[in-house]
């Protein structure tokens, strides 16, 4: 267990106070439930399930496709470790509107709560720095929450914020688990909130 005072079920509201204005992508499992609790399972949340390692690359695609919007990926340490190459790709692409928030409890909660690599020697912030990120931070206590929120909200380069959280259950929130419905809901919410010339209407057929 990390030596930290931070509760994953509470920290996102402090880090992302403007979550209603964001395009949110969550990794699977606990991160998805925490984001659903934060937003009320809102339409601006694209929550994943069963696609471990995909959250950061989906976030990159969103950031590149909607450069005028702020995109935040919220994921866990296990999910991020599953696709470390994504950090290299993101650092190379340099989307200025993308932030990654990793809720790091050093555990694999979906498969029995076994200790993960970050409970030992692995350092996700150092890995991101080596991949080419220049805006990074590891949050270990609440006294630096304001700085963490500022990092998540600033533009100019992709950011990685690692939040060391206690090994507690995620938020007790039952989110929508139908991936097709999530996709349709997210698309409709995006088009409604950000009308742009050349985009199809919100009620257009989705291939």
**Helix 55-65 vs helix 85-93: angle between axes, to the nearest 10 degrees?**
10
User: Could you read off the pLDDT of 132-154 as tens digits, one per residue?
Assistant: 999 999 999 999 999 999 999 99
In this prediction, residue 195 has a pLDDT band, given cuts at 50, 70 and 90, of low
- Give the C-alpha separation, 2 to 8, whole Å: 12
pLDDT of residue 204: 45
Using the predicted structure, report yes or no on whether residue 59 has a pLDDT greater than 90: yes
Element (H, E) at 139: strand 135-139
User: Could you read off the pLDDT of 126-135 as tens digits, one per residue?
Assistant: 999 999 999 9
- Give the C-alpha separation, 196 to 41, whole Å: 25
Q: What is the CATH number of domain 8-193?
A: 3.40.50.970
Element (H, E) at 74: strand 71-76
The token pair at 75 is: 């994921």
Residue 115: half-sphere exposure toward Cβ, Cα within 13 Å: 8
The token pair at 192 is: 């409604």
Q: What are phi and psi of 135, to 5 degrees?
A: -115, 100
- Give the C-alpha separation, 58 to 182, whole Å: 14
In this prediction, residue 8 has a pLDDT band, given cuts at 50, 70 and 90, of very high
Burial 117-144 (b: 16+ CB within 10 A, else e): ebbeeeebbebbbebbbebbbbbbeeee
Q: What are phi and psi of 137, to 5 degrees?
A: -165, 145
- Mean pLDDT across the stretch 84-96? 97
The DSSP 8-state label assigned to residue 20 in this structure reads G
- Mean pLDDT across the stretch 84-91? 97
User: Could you read off the pLDDT of 26-53 as tens digits, one per residue?
Assistant: 998 899 999 999 999 999 999 998 888 9
Using the predicted structure, report yes or no on whether residue 201 has a pLDDT greater than 70: no
- Give the C-alpha separation, 41 to 202, whole Å: 19
| Percentage, residues of the chain above pLDDT 90 | 74
- Give the C-alpha separation, 129 to 188, whole Å: 36
């Amino acid at each position: 267990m990390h030596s930290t005072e931070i509760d994953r079920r509470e920290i996102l509201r402090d880090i992302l106070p403007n979550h209603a204005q964001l395009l949110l992508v969550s990794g699977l499992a606990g991160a998805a439930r925490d984001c659903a609790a934060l937003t009320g399972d809102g339409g601006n949340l694209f929550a994943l399930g069963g696609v471990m390692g995909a959250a950061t690359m989906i976030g990159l695609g969103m950031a590149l496709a909607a450069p005028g919007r702020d995109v935040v990926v919220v994921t866990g340490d296990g999910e991020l470790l599953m696709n470390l190459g994504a950090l290299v790709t993101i650092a190379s692409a340099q989307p200025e509107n993308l932030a990654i928030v990793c809720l790091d409890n050093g555990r694999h909660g979906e498969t029995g709560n076994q200790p993960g690599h970050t409970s030992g020697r692995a350092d996700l912030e150092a890995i991101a720095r080596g991949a080419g990120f220049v805006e990074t931070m590891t949050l270990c206590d609440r006294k630096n929450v304001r700085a963490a929120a500022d990092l998540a909200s600033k533009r100019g380069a992709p950011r990685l914020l690692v939040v060391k959280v206690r090994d507690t259950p995620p938020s007790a929130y039952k989110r929508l688990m139908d991936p097709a419905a999530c996709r349709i809901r997210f698309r409709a919410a995006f088009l409604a909130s950000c009308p742009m010339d050349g985009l199809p209407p919100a009620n257009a057929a989705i291939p």
